[in-house]
Amino acid sequence: MDEKTCATCGRRIEWRKKWARDWENVRYCSDACRRHKPSDTDRALETAIVELLDQRAAGKTICPSEAAKQVGGDGWRDLMEPSRKAARRLVDAGMIEITQQGHVVDPSTAKGPIRLRRT
């Protein structure tokens, strides 16, 4: 089966037998992701991540919280998970990679603090 990534959260979609006839149309990993499609704030987070990385030297990283702070101001903490989702979507687009302790990690399974850098 072709590997797919959720259009909302950026995590890998696990193939399910019930999707066998309609696999090419599956875009979301869950009902929750289907209900919460990427919004203007999510797009602003993606843009902020790319802009912040463009300002850094090649190979340098940023924390997703930097993008959340740029977009959310004082309410940035509420944007931490959306910022991580934006990062996973950018990984799927081939624009960035997610690292932990300097090593590239699978965005679908990464837990704990992460850093973002250009590919």
Which residues contact residue 70 at a Cβ distance below 8 angstroms, ignoring those fewer than 6 apart?
48, 52
Q: What is the pLDDT of residues 85-117, one digit of tens each?
A: 999 999 999 999 999 999 999 999 999 999 999
End-to-end CA, the chain: 26
Q: What is the pLDDT of residues 6-42, one digit of tens each?
A: 999 999 998 888 888 888 899 998 899 999 989 999 9
Would you say 90 and 50 are in contact if contact means Cβ atoms under 8 Å apart?
A: yes
pTM: 0.89
Phi-psi region of 62 (alpha: psi -120 to 50; beta: other; left: phi over 0): beta
